[in-house]
Amino acid sequence: MLKTTLVDAAKAGAAEIIRFFNGEFTIANKEGVNNLVTEADHASEKAILAVIKSRFPDHQILAEETGEIVQDSTYKWIIDPIDGTVNFAHGIPLNCVSIAIEKDGEIIMGAVFNPHLNEFFLAEKGMGATLNGKPIHVSRETETLHACLVTGFPYTYINSANGPIEMFERFVRKGVPVRRLGSAAIDLCWVAAGRFDGFFEQKLEAWDSAAGFIMVTEAGGKVTDHAGNPFSPYQHALLATNGLIHDKVLEVINGGSL
The predicted-structure confidence for 100-119, as pLDDT tens digits, reads as follows 999 999 999 999 999 999 99
Would the pLDDT of 142 be above 60?
A: yes
Question: Residues 201-213: pLDDT tens digits?
Answer: 998 999 999 999 9
51 domain residue, yes or no: yes
Would the pLDDT of 74 be above 80?
A: yes
Would the pLDDT of 243 be above 90?
A: yes
Identify whether residues 92 and 205 lie together within a single domain: no
Q: Are 43 and 172 in contact (CB under 8 A)?
A: no
Average pLDDT over residues 132-159: 91
Q: What is the pTM of this model?
A: 0.94
Average pLDDT over residues 53-65: 96
- The pLDDT value recorded for residue 50 is 98
Identify whether residues 26 and 96 lie together within a single domain: yes
Identify whether residues 12 and 90 lie together within a single domain: yes
7-33 b/e (C-beta count within 10 Å ≥ 16 → b)? bbbbbbbbebbeebbeeebeeeeeeee
- The pLDDT value recorded for residue 163 is 84
Share the mean pLDDT of the chain. Answer: 93
- The pLDDT value recorded for residue 22 is 79
Q: Are 39 and 20 in contact (CB under 8 A)?
A: yes
- The pLDDT value recorded for residue 157 is 64
Average pLDDT over residues 71-94: 95
84 domain residue, yes or no: yes
Q: List the domain range (segments joined by +) for residue 93.
A: 2-135
Instruction: Give the confidence band of 122 by pLDDT, cuts at 50, 70, 90.
Output: very high
- The pLDDT value recorded for residue 136 is 98
Identify whether residues 129 and 187 lie together within a single domain: no
Q: Where are the beta strands (DSSP E) in the chain?
A: 27-29, 36-38, 60-63, 67-69, 75-83, 96-103, 106-114, 119-124, 128-131, 134-135, 149-151, 178-179, 198-201, 222-224, 238-241
Identify whether residues 127 and 171 lie together within a single domain: no
Would the pLDDT of 216 be above 60?
A: yes
Question: Residues 26-44: pLDDT tens digits?
Answer: 765 655 555 566 788 999 9
Using a 10 angstrom Cβ sphere, with 0-12 exposed, 13-18 middle and 19 or more buried, the burial of residue 143 is exposed
Identify whether residues 114 and 154 lie together within a single domain: no
Using the 3D structure, point to which of 86, 117, 135 is the last residue of a domain: 135
105 domain residue, yes or no: yes
- The pLDDT value recorded for residue 228 is 97
Domain count, the chain: 2
Give the separation between CA 207 and CA 79, rounded to whole angstroms: 5
Average pLDDT over residues 172-200: 97
Instruction: Give the confidence band of 66 by pLDDT, cuts at 50, 70, 90.
Output: confident
Identify whether residues 41 and 109 lie together within a single domain: yes
Using the 3D structure, point to which of 81, 114, 135 is the last residue of a domain: 135
- The pLDDT value recorded for residue 36 is 63
